[in-house]
Structure 1
Amino acid sequence: MRTDIAFPFRIGARGRTATADLDEHARDLIEQLLFTSPGERVMRPGFGCGLLDLVFAPTAPELIAALELSVRASLQRWLGDLVEVRALDLTVHGGTVRVDVHYTVRRTGNDREDVFEGKP
């Protein structure tokens, strides 16, 4: 059975590096992609989608729609071999960005719905 390092990095109950199964790992990777700004990673400068920049921008419906397309494109580019996004809903309220993602983990075939929230 495949296991990956859990995100955020932490020590598990056995005193070793905490691990995650494939479904949990996919969720962790989505979270990292959503809240990483392009240019933040040295070896992968294109990784991320700049989602937290939205908090400081006017929240016009057109901007939200454009950002949803950008997030979908980033998910497809970086995680398309791991997940298939079924639905994505993005909202901004009170300085918090909320992303509802419904997706299928390709290797397991499991459908998941996760909510990701972030503040700058």
Structure 2
Amino acid sequence: MKINTDFLGIGWSFPPEFNETEGKLSMTTDVEDINNSLIILLSTRPGERVMFPDYGCDLQEMLFKPLDLTLITQMKGIVERAILYHEPRINILSIEIDTQEELEGEVLIEIDYEVRNTNTRSNIVFPFYKGEATEI
């Protein structure tokens, strides 16, 4: 028996791309749409969207602070609040911050979640980079 997931919505693929054979914008559905929505949410700074000034996750504020337990706890709280207010289709099961690649300027944010209406579990790993845009 296939579960009807139309209520999860449909959205543009991220980054936006076109299907050349059909001449249409590529769309995503179900969990893929939720994952794209989470990536957009975590990548957007509050105030960046004119019509939705509260939308986003202010991780950039943490960029050059020393990575200690306090900062990790703050990051988890910021991510949790952003998802709570802006992604109503999921329940957060856990948020983990992986700092193993800290010296290379990368922190991984792993979000385990459950889709509310289907009880389907999924996760996403969002790479947050501290480094400058150089090729050194």
Per the normalisation by structure 1, the TM-score is 0.86
Cα distance per residue 1:24-81 (max 9 Å; x no partner): 11111111111111111111111111113323111121111122112111110111x2
Larger CA deviation: 107-116 vs 32-41:
107-116
Extract unaligned runs of 5+ from structure 2.
Answer: 1-5, 131-136
How many residues align? The count is 119
Q: Which has the larger radius of gyration?
A: 2
Task: Name the amino acid aligned to 1:119.
Answer: Y
Contact in 2 for aligned 1:90/1:100 (Cα 8 Å): yes
* CA drift at 1:97: 2.9
Q: How well do the aligned residues superpose, as a CA RMSD in angstroms?
A: 1.8
SS at match of 1:28: helix
Matched, 1:83 2:93: no
Among 5, 8, 13, the residue aligned to 1:6: 13
Give the drift of 1:17: 0.6
Q: Any conservation in 2 of the 1:4–1:22 contact (CA below 8 Å)?
A: no
Partner of residue 100, structure 1: 110
| Structure 1 counterpart of 2:134 | none
Which 5+ residue runs of structure 1 have no aligned equivalent?
A: none
The Cα of 1:108 is off from its aligned counterpart by 3.3
TM normalised by structure 2 equals 0.77
SS of equivalent to 2:123: strand
Task: In structure 2, give the amino acid aligned to 1:100.
Answer: E
The answer to whether residue 47 in structure 2 is matched with residue 39 in structure 1 is yes
